[in-house]
Amino acid sequence: MFGQVVGVVEIDRDRYGRIVGRIYLGSRDIKREMVAEGHAWVYRKYMRDESLLEDETASREAMLGLWSLPEAQRVPPWEWRRK
């Protein structure tokens, strides 16, 4: 997998001018894979693709990735940053 080229489809720019986009490796949607494998949360505040919630629910029910951690150790990134 090393040395492969990824593509970024720009969706928006945030208030700091940073690109908000979707990352693809060929036809693979990396964000969707991360959520489906339990490696990422769906940030509901800025969510544009509600089907990601289905992927998150499936990974939570299967206790994949972060969902395999004890509940007390699971801290959504937006809550962690607030602290």
Domain range for 31 is 7-82
The set of residues, in sequence order, having a beta carbon less than 8 Å from that of 44 and lying 6+ positions away, is 53
Whole-structure pTM value = 0.85
Residue 1 lies in a domain: no
- What integer pLDDT is reported at residue 1 of this predicted model? 64
Q: What digits encode the pLDDT tens for the residues 13-63?
A: 999 999 999 999 999 999 999 999 999 999 988 888 899 999 999 999 999
CATH of residue 28's domain is 2.40.50.90
Please give the residue that has the higher pLDDT: either 1 or 14. Answer: 14
Domain count, the chain: 1
Q: Where are the alpha helices (DSSP H) in 22-67?
A: 30-36, 51-61
User: Is residue 12's pLDDT more than 70?
Assistant: yes
Residue 2 lies in a domain: no
